[in-house]
Amino acid sequence: IAMRLNQFWYLILACCWGKSLSIPQQLINEFKSTLLPFFGFKERPKMEGGKVHVPEALRRLYEIQNDFQWDTASLPLPGLYTGSANTVRSFTHVEGPVDEKFLSHNKFRLKFNISSIPKTEKLKAAEVKLTREIVRDSNGTGYYQRILVKDIIKRGIQGVRAPIMRVIDSKLIDTRKNNTISVDVLPAVARWLEKPSSNYGIFIVVYSTDRRKTPPKKHLRLKRDVESEVWHERQPLLLTYTDDGKNKQVTGKDMTKMRPKRGARRSHRKNERDPCRRRQMYVNFRDVGWSDWIVAPLGYDAFYCGGECEYPMPEHLNTTNHAIVQSLMNSARPTDVPKPCCVPTQLSSMSMLYLDSQNHVILKNYKDMVVIGCGCR
């Protein structure tokens, strides 16, 4: 892994230093072959079809993660226990002939194809987000509705048996509000991953809570009944939260020791010749032709460490005792002992939005992507 990361940084330095440069094709190919496994791909995703719609929920989460004060690859989502998850995938309902059987607006089956989730990743949480419309006139039936979410364990056979289902979530909602709601579907998704052939979807039913059992007013967006452009923003969305095992779980004790990821300051003496410090390096994904499947960011400031580590070394370089001894030995025997190296001493994570080969939008947090501080080692 260390060797792969070293190759990664050397290639970026060669390819992306400063402004856009003319990069040899051989170097671009090496860059791609080195970085694709880093993203979890064996080959470049092949984009098919037209414009891909990025769910607003993922865009907001991407912005929250990038603005989060502390450096962590975990997801800051209050109210949803995602644990060590560092990857979020989005899935939309797979439309089919079964949809036509549901004529009312308060009952519907949702089916999601989650086969693109790697078996090596551990599922930590799963939710379905549903959009709503305000009910302005309840006609005296009350403003509250109950949502039941059921996992379809076994399909029914018409005229023989009813489907076997179990309730996995229930929520009381106020129809006077129009904010998006979330229902927990972790038990269902976990079962589908364990046995893909048992994925029959989930069944959602909405009913009024008034005593007269009045049919509920249309409030939730469960099935397509608007134009495509609008439906892309309002359709039910499954979000899965997984851990790819590449990041060490940060404990509460570790969090107390962390510095804010933008808290490191760059300072050095003006009389030093070329001291070890953080230097500008911009990575542009357009240069390697990846802007079609990387949604955001299309480029970022990665920075790198460069400069001399000469004795005596300033305190701000966060130097180790070994580096000080090595620097002293280098002063006495420069031909036998090399100078300490200028290397990153603090790195921060970065969030990325990208598409897989099935055009699913993925949000993943990568650790150690941006240099925050440099020192002599």
Alpha carbon distance 202, 104 (integer Å): 17
Q: What are phi and psi of 241, to 5 degrees?
A: -120, 115
pLDDT of residue 211: 66
Q: Is 93 helix (H, G, I), strand (E, B) or coil?
A: coil
Q: What's the whole-number average pLDDT of the chain?
A: 77
pLDDT of residue 2: 41
344 or 269, greater pLDDT: 344
Nearest CA among 168, 14, 192 for reference residue 112: 192
CB 75 within 8 A of CB 349: no
Crossing angle (nearest 10°) for helices 2-16 and 25-39? 140
Please confirm whether the linkage preceding 312 is cis (ω < 30° from 0).
yes
Residues 6+ apart with CB under 8 A from 299: 282, 283, 284, 285, 286
pLDDT of residue 264: 42
Calculate mean pLDDT across residues 259-276. 55
Whether pTM > 0.85 for this model: the answer is no
**DSSP classification of residue 256:** H
pLDDT of residue 168: 94
Alpha carbon distance 260, 114 (integer Å): 36
> In which band, very low, low, confident or very high, does the pLDDT at 266 lie, cut at 50, 70 and 90?
very low
Q: Is 228 helix (H, G, I), strand (E, B) or coil?
A: helix
pLDDT tens column, 35-92: 777 777 777 777 666 667 888 888 888 888 777 655 555 666 766 777 788 889 999 8
- C-alpha 152 chain-centroid distance: 28
Calculate mean pLDDT across residues 219-226. 65
Calculate mean pLDDT across residues 172-182. 80
Calculate mean pLDDT across residues 143-148. 85
Residue-wise DSSP of 339-352 = PPPEEEEEEEEEEE
pLDDT of residue 303: 92
Q: Is the pLDDT of residue 21 over 60?
A: no
Calculate mean pLDDT across residues 268-284. 74
132 or 297, greater pLDDT: 297
Structure-block tokens of residue 354: 């990208």
Alpha carbon distance 236, 131 (integer Å): 7
Q: Where do the domains of the chain lie, and which CATH numbers do they carry? A: 26-73+273-376 (2.10.90.10), 79-243 (2.60.120.970)
pLDDT of residue 88: 92
Strand ranges (E), 43-158: 87-92, 107-110, 122-130, 144-154
Q: C-alpha angle with apex 268: 266 to 18, nearest 5 degrees?
A: 55
Convert 239-291 into a string of H (helix), E (strand) and C (coil). EEEEECCCCCCCCHHHHHHCCECCCCCCCCCCCCCCECEEECCEEEHHHHCCC
Q: Is the pLDDT of residue 149 over 70?
A: yes
pLDDT tens column, 225-262: 655 566 777 888 999 999 988 776 555 555 555 555 54
Strand ranges (E), 62-106: 87-92
Q: What are phi and psi of 5, to 5 degrees?
A: -65, -40
pLDDT tens column, 280-313: 988 888 877 777 788 888 888 989 999 888 777 7
Nearest CA among 262, 326, 246, 311 for reference residue 73: 246
204: part of which helix (H) or strand (E)? Answer: strand 202-208
pLDDT tens column, 182-209: 999 999 999 999 999 999 999 999 887 7
CB 209 within 8 A of CB 146: yes
